[in-house]
Structure 1
């Protein structure tokens, strides 16, 4: 039931995330692996390096996100509630609910005074995902700009 305050993550959403993340990870692994052949390595340009660094950052992000999803999936609801109770701050008399967020990935223990806290998902997951997202976006932008500059230089057009 959607109004249940002790809901946590939706199991269907967890399985969709695991399937989609695994599929993306496999596709990126195959693609990036194909880029390591000797013939391909000789044709590398700065634009292609930036593109592949960006894709490698996406693959690393997929691994981290899947790791976080597995933490939630492999922990029963009772164990999640016990973890919330065990990590409850001393000044909090009790808990009013449990909420699962997918972005950022976290399991939130809700308190009556509004000072919610998260448990179960390792603390390094979300900051690492943010850093990898910035690396992926930076690599994609650099690749696009370098490729555009190369094409303009090749055709002889001015910027």
Structure 2
């Protein structure tokens, strides 16, 4: 076999394997990280399925990475934000859950794995945490 053709085929196989191992949705749509559910993006699902053609393991890993990151789902209506609310030092968990439920319009349980509650020292720190979560990245990138 021609050495140039062999090198090109090796490069192609390595490129496809790296793409499959890292998760296609994670590469194509990093702004979707953190989505919990929704409709599955058929383009990402098919791209991950291509990994199944090159042995089984790369495709399975691509699906696992995309499902764990949430990048296989089409964009939803999830939003994140920061509301500054002064809290009493003697507020118990039940009172805080009631306050959060009233503010969000949803039943909130602080024991939920899907809820992250952190005490921060400043509003700037809270805003930095929201920015690091990746929520709203698409809208911020559109304004650039």
- TM over 0.5, shorter chain: no
When you count helix as a share of all residues, which structure comes out higher? 1
